[in-house]
Structure 1
Amino acid sequence: MDLEPEGFVEQGYGAVGDAFRRNFQDPGEDAAAVAVFHGGRLVADLWGGEDVVNRRAMPRDGLMMVASCSKGITATVLAMLVQQGRIDPDERVGTYWPEFAVNGKERATVGMVASHTVGLPYPPLGTGLQGLDLHRGEAVTRALAAAEPLWEPGTAMAYHPVTYGTLLDEIVRRATGSTIASHVRRMVAEPLGVEMWMGLPAELDGRVVPGLWEQASPMAPTGEEDAEPGSYAARRLAFLRENPPMDPDFTDPQEVRAHYAAERPGIGAITNARALATMYAAVLGPVDGTRLVDESTLELALTPRTDDVETLIESGTAGPDIRFGLGYQLASPSMPGFGPSSFGHTGAGARLGIADTEHQVAFGYVCSRMRNIGPHGDPRWAALVEAIRGCL
């Protein structure tokens, strides 16, 4: 099977192709793709490697579930709804969702939910819910509405791996009458002509390239057994023991279909590098005449919201120093991007979608060989980002 990368790079961006090709040897790739926009123009679009689950070369139209890169998509929808005046990030959640304003959450705002400071990083223990029911649906939404936060909202930050999407989805549904998944299709995917879903149509299942971990998922309940009783670390561990991370059994078509169909705005987007890069380019400026977020709204979305609060133990896949604006992850050592003006979101396994306001660059990277993101980012997308930076 010929696994030589396919696609194109424009003149002057050859280093991106070279870095992408080298990644398959060191540190190693299975199936992967990268796309780059500069100044609103697609300058690199590459894919290659092998889908080891389905034993095929990475197809041009291959799709991947991009884990927490989904949060960057949700942040874009939220920014667009703020821009339209349909949601106020400084409004209390209870204004849109009255049942939420109980048990210490009365003053919690939409911005606190979007910046991971609301104090609900996991559903409460003892719900009896399992699997996808912990990610979406009326039962988990009711449980979160009734829950007592683990800290006073707005006073600390800890990454909300799945509840970020569950909470924002209910806020958006109450405020607009439509789910985030619906807004993604109408406001992002269709205007830009890109392939992006939260809840994949069944006829597209065969195009998905599954991701496989080289080692245990970073969300696995290990490494904190000596956590002080009552601490956040201990409570997090208790949740992960009750409800460990899950991936579908790729030999079970019904289980795979359930995962792909689930609308999970925090982790469940199915898309490709091309679409991620296009979306972020259209956040920065027009792409074929379509711009998603205006300058003033983008400035609001990128205003840091977590720099002045306590950061609890790193509890996601983004590194120990994660920072957030209004849903977007901001530049840090674990997601350095192209410099201090980069923003976007990493995804478990080392997927990445980012943009940079200073350099006017947008970047999407997806991979099926999944690794933990280290304290300075993943070496594969780090090499690609460095190559792009050298081309600017």
Structure 2
Amino acid sequence: MTLVQGSVERGFEAVRDAFAHAHDGDAGAAQLCVYREGHAVVDLWTGEDPISGKTWDADSMTVLMSVSKGVTATCVHMLAERGQLDLDAPVADYWPDFAVNGKAGITVTDVLSHRAGLSSFDPESGIGAAELSDWSACIAALETMAPLWQPGTAMYYHSLTQGYLAGELVRRVTGKTIGEFVATEIAGPLGLALWIGLPESEEYRVIPQFTRHKWPGPVEVAAVLANMGIDVGARLVRATLASLATRESGIAMLNTREGHAAEVPSGNAIGNARSLARMYAATIGEVDGIRLLAPATVERARQPQTDGLKAPSPLEILPVTHSFGYGYGLARPATPMLGPGSLGNTGTGGRIAYAHPESATAVAYTCTNMTADDPTKPDPRWLPWTAALHDALA
């Protein structure tokens, strides 16, 4: 069985065994941390890094991919709780230049719940993988862009763009970049190893991510869509395929110092499971006297905002693979959280972090081996320890 290091409290030994079993034969490294009622009850790590040769331990960090969206959402809800942002207000109330080309009615909630109609950059915008580290270029492209569908009427995952939209709202309201806000308002007070925009002094702790899986590219995806009768020349489809075309080079960029230093709030937060679990624990309760969000804020944040919505035309025949509240993903069959009421986010390649208020539990799992993503199924590495955690909490 895989060698696991770390500790568990009495009653959680089966979680450690299941975590070890989940990583039998896995080529990478992983961390699992669980907080219960404000303190860590599971703190585990396993594996070694075959790419860099660096030692992997509980303090090691890796890129968190779309788990980053939960960090960004927490920033937005902190501002809403302070009265600095109204989730029902138009984005243009805080960002006046955004109100062009049919975007005047897009609300903060539309941005958080992937309903804004800006799911990908237009191919003509010139935003590729290299430009993702250029905040001004990305913001300018979104500022002038017309929505890809009528905002609010459909939901389609804003895999890259949501972070820029939400991050610019944070900057407009506070004068701080999203990375600065995370550092001063979340990571600093809680003592977290968590950044959006990594300082060079912390670079030595980062373990690169890797994959031995080849994801389908835009040509393969376009062929599948065409066989389904979908017009691949439609603007939404062209934009989506252009995003797919940046995936491999984008992931490669996120393994560079430039990619670590940039602020890409949808996908390049860097941290470890300890810090993510601690952050989520502080969203639903006190951790060493610190609480990030009030109970009423959490309750609102997890209210479904996409139930009943389909993908926009001409992709409406595709299955709905996500369910969102206000910026956080919600429990669904492909995301085996601790049950209804859980709120958090998954990340490409197998990361997951979330909170379950009913059990006062926060969970975070990070990994370096990016396995194949199937949005209709959970990562098989989650299943053993998730089942054991259910049993331990029961």
Task: Normalising by structure 1, report the TM-score.
Answer: 0.92
Mind listing any 5+ residue stretches in structure 1 that lack a counterpart?
none
Give the whole-Å Cα distance in 1 for the aligned partners of 2:233 and 2:216.
22
Query: What is the aligned counterpart of 2:231 among 228, 233, 236?
Result: 228
Using a 3 Å threshold, how does the CA distance of structure 1 residues 3 and 390 change in structure 2: closer, same or farther?
closer
State the partner residue of 2:4.
5
Q: 1:112-143 deviations in whole A, cap 9, x for unaligned?
A: 01110000011122122332423542122111
Using a 3 Å threshold, how does the CA distance of structure 1 residues 220 and 351 change in structure 2: closer, same or farther?
farther
Q: Do the aligned partners of 1:205 and 1:257 also contact (CA within 8 Å) in 2? A: yes
Identity of aligned residues (%): 38
Give the whole-Å Cα distance in 2 for the aligned partners of 1:60 and 1:241.
33
Give the whole-Å Cα distance in 1 for the aligned partners of 2:244 and 2:47.
35
State the partner residue of 2:249.
246
Give the whole-Å Cα distance in 1 for the aligned partners of 2:22 and 2:245.
37
SS at match of 2:34: strand
Q: 1:245-302 deviations in whole A, cap 9, x for unaligned?
A: 424659xxx9711011011111010000001110111111001111110011111111
Range moving further from structure 2, 138-147 or 234-243: 234-243
Q: 1:286-341 deviations in whole A, cap 9, x for unaligned?
A: 0111111001111111111111322359x9xxx94211111000111111311111
Q: Do the aligned partners of 1:31 and 1:57 also contact (CA within 8 Å) in 2? A: no
State the partner residue of 2:17.
18
Give the whole-Å Cα distance in 1 for the aligned partners of 2:188 and 2:81.
19
Give the whole-Å Cα distance in 2 for the aligned partners of 1:160 and 1:127.
16
Q: Do the aligned partners of 2:113 and 2:306 also contact (CA within 8 Å) in 1? A: yes
Task: Kindly report which structure 2 residues correspond to 1:1-392, keeping only aligned pairs within 5 A, or say none.
Answer: 4-25=3-24, 28-134=26-132, 136-217=134-215, 222-225=220-223, 226=226, 227-231=230-234, 234-240=237-243, 243-247=246-250, 256-312=256-312, 320-374=320-374, 375-392=376-393
Give the whole-Å Cα distance in 2 for the aligned partners of 1:241 and 1:295.
38
Give the whole-Å Cα distance in 2 for the aligned partners of 1:16 and 1:220.
39
Report the CA distance between 1:60 and its aligned residue.
Answer: 2.9
Mind listing any 5+ residue stretches in structure 2 that lack a counterpart?
none
RMSD: 2.3
Give the whole-Å Cα distance in 2 for the aligned partners of 1:44 and 1:335.
20
Give the whole-Å Cα distance in 1 for the aligned partners of 2:216 and 2:295.
36
Range moving further from structure 2, 226-235 or 64-73: 226-235
SS at match of 1:275: helix
Counterpart residue type for residue 23 of structure 2: F
Using a 3 Å threshold, how does the CA distance of structure 1 residues 246 and 257 change in structure 2: closer, same or farther?
same
Report the CA distance between 1:222 and its aligned residue.
Answer: 3.0
SS at match of 1:246: helix
Give the whole-Å Cα distance in 1 for the aligned partners of 2:218 and 2:60.
28
Q: 1:178-219 deviations in whole A, cap 9, x for unaligned?
A: 111111111111111111001111122121111111212477
SS at match of 1:141: helix
Give the whole-Å Cα distance in 1 for the aligned partners of 2:198 and 2:93.
31
Q: Do the aligned partners of 2:90 and 2:107 also contact (CA within 8 Å) in 1? A: yes
Give the whole-Å Cα distance in 2 for the aligned partners of 1:249 and 1:86.
37
Q: 1:145-180 deviations in whole A, cap 9, x for unaligned?
A: 111101111111000111000111111111111111
Equivalenced residues, count: 384
Range moving further from structure 2, 319-328 or 352-361: 319-328
Report the CA distance between 1:77 and its aligned residue.
Answer: 0.9
Give the whole-Å Cα distance in 2 for the aligned partners of 1:384 and 1:311.
32
Q: Do the aligned partners of 1:221 and 1:240 also contact (CA within 8 Å) in 2? A: no
